[in-house]
Amino acid sequence: MTTRRDFLQKVTASAILLPLPAWVMARQPYDGPVLRVALMGLGGYATRVADAMRSCTKAKLVGAISGTPAKLTEWQSKYGIPARNCYNYDNFSAIKNNPDIDAVYITTPNSLHHSQVLQAAAAGKHVICEKPMALNAKEGAEMVAACKKAGVKLLVGYRMHFEPKTLEVIRMRNNGDFGKVLFFQGLCGFRIGDPTQWRLNKQLAGGGSLMDIGIYAINGARYMVGEEPAWVTAQETKTDPVKFKEGVDETIQFQLGFPSGVVASCLSSYSMNNLDRFFLNGDKGFAEMQPSTGYGPIKGRTHKGELTQPHATHQTIQMEEMAGIILEGKQPIVPVDGEEGLKDLKIIDAIYEAVKTGKKVALKL
């Protein structure tokens, strides 16, 4: 049997060995501002976020938006959401008159993000939007502009930007532990199931694997290397044109070139498992992470040994940190704002152009 004293001794010993993130330290009684959030699109990922928010101190789930009445009823009961804070997609704009809600977190299919972000901004609510932020850079730029005009913040659900092992690799890179960075590899993929799901619908997803799992490799290349790419080349492979119809990519390989000479080789696939891997190589050392972007725990090692930062639910950390960004003006180590999301959309546009033309496409981010 573990006593309270044993537990406290273990926690104290761990605190001496490992620096704990600020959100962990905030487990002490918190009486500061709380971000009151409504989730839009009550699917599987929204449920994951809602469950994770039970452990938050700076963020609280207070509202729900769905086109399915039964889901709204279920969420009212499960998460204690008042009926007055529940909306459907037709009356969503009325959220403007609800002082109980500060921000809307959008977890709907990709093609809906643009219009829903514009609606939320017009209602005067801060917005957190799942990635990819939109279907293309044109939509993304309009979303950034709309939120600026409305005076609200636009954040993107880049949960890995707060993940402790990821941040440790970034710290080591900034500290020069890897020396001159030379190469990055990002492998992201899984075998997708149900052929009728929205992720395989061009109108809803905007593409295929690249618009879903591939964005992790795109974004990961940027934050692992610490530069913005200058060019991209890309190739598409399709083995099942029935399941992966026109405009829905099955597998895309793409290469990024950076101003310093770093090159990145990445792969995005809906037809292979065991691909959740990042590798960063420099002339003095390396970092390898596998899994690198899954829900956790993330595992990794460098030339100095295993990464041992403690695991915590990604969505809990994300919502705590995003509350700090919105309410307190905190600056994250890696940006999560709309401009960050727009850069990834510009790269996605360029990858699809490179696939279509077979040419190297210049990037201006």
User: With DSSP H G I counted as helix, E B as strand and the rest as coil, what are the percentages for the chain, rounded to 5?
Assistant: 40, 20, 40
Cα–Cα–Cα angle for 364, 155, 120, rounded to 5 degrees = 115
Residue 212 is encoded by which pair of tokens?
């879903």
User: Of 301, 260, 250, 258, nearest to 277 (Cα)?
Assistant: 301
Helix (H) or strand (E) holding 181: strand 181-189
How far is residue 162's CA from residue 257's CA, in Å, rounded to a whole number?
25
**Among residues 268, 248, 259, which one has the least CA distance to residue 199?**
248
Residue entry with tokens 């972007």: 293
Closest C-alpha to 266, from 324, 346, 339, 184: 184
Give the type of residue at 341: G
Distance, in Å, from the CA atom of 346 to the CA atom of 363, rounded to the nearest integer, reads 8
- Interatomic CA distance for residues 210 and 218, integer angstroms: 9
- Please give the Cα distance from 237 to 269 (Å, whole number): 9
Longest CA pairwise span in the chain (Å)? 65
Residue type, 270: Y
Q: Residue 131 catalytic? A: yes
Backbone angles phi and psi of 261, in degrees to 5: 105, -5
* CA-CA-CA-CA dihedral for 13, 17, 20, 24, to nearest 10: -20
329: alpha, beta or left? (left if phi > 0; alpha if psi -120 to 50): left
Catalytic residue from among 216, 223, 270, 352:
216
Active-site residue, selected from the candidate residues 71, 125, 131, 153: 131
Q: Tell me if 306 sits within 8 A of 18, measured CB to CB.
A: no
216 is catalytic: yes
State the Cα–Cα distance between residues 140 and 215, nearest whole angstrom.
15
Q: Catalytic amino acids?
A: 131, 216
